[in-house]
Structure 1
């Protein structure tokens, strides 16, 4: 499995060999993330949990799910590159921020937003 730097390098090489950087503005990359995320959502649309449990065992469904997740991830890497930040570091920082917003003793088993928890830190 490649490390993140190797993956980013391969992705940028793929893009640059095709002269696609000209199309990869921050706006268009963000749009692409949204479009690919919609394709990911489409895989689960109109399906109940029982059907999804069955589909998760289907190799063809799992392959489509894998590809759509990869599309979202690759576009996010390009967005981060265009935005000038390390996506892995941003994710780690976000987990730390969420740990502050959602203390275990207040958030465990709850789907409430942090602003609705007792002792709201915001």
Structure 2
């Protein structure tokens, strides 16, 4: 599945700025508090979960899924990602940097030798 713009990668910074602009243009900033964004994220996680709810185990790559199911999945995954980025932004957390740090911590906690 390819992206809309055809770009190979999109940065978290670009998404964060686009979400800031999107909310500002609509006057939504006052409502985008950490609590509200977290609750919206949880709601979107519920919608994402519903897609898998009755499918049983799903193979990597979704070979048995219809194209419209994959599109719907992509939309819900995007909603989750965008709310997560907004939540981290509203908390002044650099999500990319803390994710890299967490990977380093996990490498120490779960070394290859285990």
With structure 1 as the length reference, what TM-score do the two structures score?
0.77
* Cα drift, residue 3 of structure 1: 3.0
Q: Which residue of 2 aligns with 1:54?
A: 64
Q: 2-side partners of 1:96 and 1:4: how far apart?
A: 19
* Pair 1:44 & 2:44 matched: no
* Pair 1:10 & 2:43 matched: no
Equivalences, count: 104
Q: 1-side partners of 2:98 and 2:58: how far apart?
A: 35
Q: Which residue of 2 aligns with 1:104?
A: 112
Cα-to-partner distance string for 1:41-88 (whole Å, 9 max, x where unaligned): 110002122686412xx2101111101111011011111111111111
Structure with the larger RCO, 1 or 2 (CA within 8 Å, 6+ apart): 2
* Structure 1: segments with no counterpart, 5+ residues: 107-122
* Structure 2: segments with no counterpart, 5+ residues: 1-6
Q: Which residue of 2 aligns with 1:30?
A: 38
The match for 1:78 among 75, 86, 89 is 86
Q: 2-side partners of 1:31 and 1:86: how far apart?
A: 20
Greater C-alpha radius of gyration: 1
Q: 2-side partners of 1:28 and 1:97: how far apart?
A: 29
Q: CA RMSD in A?
A: 1.7
Q: Residues 85, 99 of structure 1: CA spacing in aligned structure 2 closer, same or farther, 3 A cutoff?
A: same
Q: 1-side partners of 2:113 and 2:48: how far apart?
A: 33
With structure 2 as the length reference, what TM-score do the two structures score?
0.82
SS of residue in 2 equivalent to 1:43: helix
